[in-house]
Chain A
Amino acid sequence: MNTSPRNLLASISIAAATALTPLTSQAQEPVRIAFMDPLSGSFASIGTSGLRQIEYAAEYFFNSRGGILGGRPIEIVPLDNKQSPTETQLQFQRAVSEGIRIIFQGNSSAVANTLSSTISRHNRRNPGQEVLQINYSAVDPALTEEECSFWHFRFDAHAIMKLEVLTDYIAMNEDIKSVYIIGQDYSFGQVVADTSIAMLQEKRPDIEIVGNEFHPIGQVKDFTPYVTKIVASGADAVITGNFGADMVSLARSIIDSGLRIPIYTFYAAYDGITATLGEDAKGLVYLVHNETSNPIPTEERKEFIRGFKAANPDKDVTQPRIYNALRMVVEAIEESGSTDPYDIALALEDRRHTTLSGEEIWMRGDDHQIFQSLHISVHTDEGVEFDADNSGWGLFSEFHVPAEETIRETSCRMRRPRR
Chain B
Amino acid sequence: MLEVFIFATLNGLVTGLLLFMLASGLTLIFSMMGVLNFAHASFYMLGAYFAYSISSYLGFWTGLLVAPVVAGFCGALVERYGLRHVHKHGHVAELVFTFGLAFLIEEIVQFLWGRDTKNYQQPELLDFPLFTLFGQEFSAYRGFMIFISVAIFIGLYYTLTRSRIGIIIQAAITHPHTVANLGHNVPLIFMGVFGVGSALAGVAGVIAGPVLTTFPGMAIVLGSIVFVIVVIGGLGSLAGAFVASLLIGLLQSYAIASDVGMPDLLDLIGVSFERSHPLNDLWTLTLPQIAPILPFLLLVLVLIFRPTGLLGKREE
Tell me whether B115 is interfacial, beta carbon within 8 Å: yes
Tell me whether B135 is interfacial, beta carbon within 8 Å: yes
Tell me whether B173 is interfacial, beta carbon within 8 Å: no
A222 touches B212 (CB 8 A): yes
Decide: A257 near B4, CB < 8 A? Known: A248-B117, A276-B117: no
B215 touches A245 (CB 8 A): yes
Tell me whether B245 is interfacial, beta carbon within 8 Å: no
Across the A-B interface, the 5 shortest Cβ-Cβ residue pairs: A258-B137, A45-B116, A225-B256, A272-B117, A44-B115
Residue numbers in A under 8 Å from B212 (CB-CB)? 221-222, 249
The residue from B218, B253, B289 contacting A214, defined by CB atoms under 8 A apart: B289
Nearest residue (CB) in A for B127 is A280
At the interface with chain B, which of A137-145, A227-235, A394-402? A227-235
Residue numbers in A under 8 Å from B121 (CB-CB)? 278
B136 touches A219 (CB 8 A): no
A249 vs B210: C-alpha distance when bound (angstroms)? 10
Decide: A258 near B132, CB < 8 A? Known: A225-B257, A245-B117, A275-B119: yes
Tell me whether B129 is interfacial, beta carbon within 8 Å: yes
Interface flags for A37-79 (1: CB within 8 Å of B; 0: not) read 0001110110010000000000000000000000000000000
Residue numbers in B under 8 Å from A229 (CB-CB)? 4, 256-257, 259
B257 touches A222 (CB 8 A): no
Band of interface residues on B: 35 or more
A45 touches B115 (CB 8 A): yes
Nearest residue (CB) in B for A259 is B136
Tell me whether B34 is interfacial, beta carbon within 8 Å: no
A232 vs B256: C-alpha distance when bound (angstroms)? 13
Find residues 127-145 in chain B having any chain A CB closer than 8 Å to their own CB: 129, 132, 134-139, 141-142
The residue from A185, A221, A228, A257 contacting B8, defined by CB atoms under 8 A apart: A228
Band of interface residues on A: 35 or more
Residue numbers in B under 8 Å from A275 (CB-CB)? 119
Nearest residue (CB) in A for B138 is A257
Tell me whether B7 is interfacial, beta carbon within 8 Å: yes
Tell me whether A252 is interfacial, beta carbon within 8 Å: yes
A356 vs B117: C-alpha distance when bound (angstroms)? 30
Nearest residue (CB) in A for B212 is A221
Find residues 1-43 in chain B having any chain A CB closer than 8 Å to their own CB: 3-4, 7-8, 11-12, 14-15
Decide: A219 near B211, CB < 8 A? Known: A228-B11, A258-B132: no
Residue numbers in A under 8 Å from B221 (CB-CB)? 218-219, 221
A272 vs B221: C-alpha distance when bound (angstroms)? 19
Residue numbers in A under 8 Å from B15 (CB-CB)? 222
B4 touches A228 (CB 8 A): yes
* 26 contacting pairs across A/B (C-beta < 8 A): A44-B115, A185-B289, A213-B288, A215-B289, A216-B289, A216-B292, A220-B292, A221-B221, A221-B222, A224-B7, A225-B7, A225-B8, A225-B12, A225-B253, A225-B257, A228-B8, A229-B4, A229-B257, A232-B136, A245-B117, A256-B139, A257-B137, A271-B116, A276-B213, A278-B121, A389-B119
A245 vs B116: C-alpha distance when bound (angstroms)? 9
Tell me whether B187 is interfacial, beta carbon within 8 Å: no
Known contacts A44-B115, A273-B117, then 5 further A-B pairs from the complex at CB < 8 Å, ordered by chain A residue: A44-B110, A213-B288, A258-B137, A272-B119, A275-B119
Decide: A224 near B213, CB < 8 A? Known: A215-B288, A232-B134: no
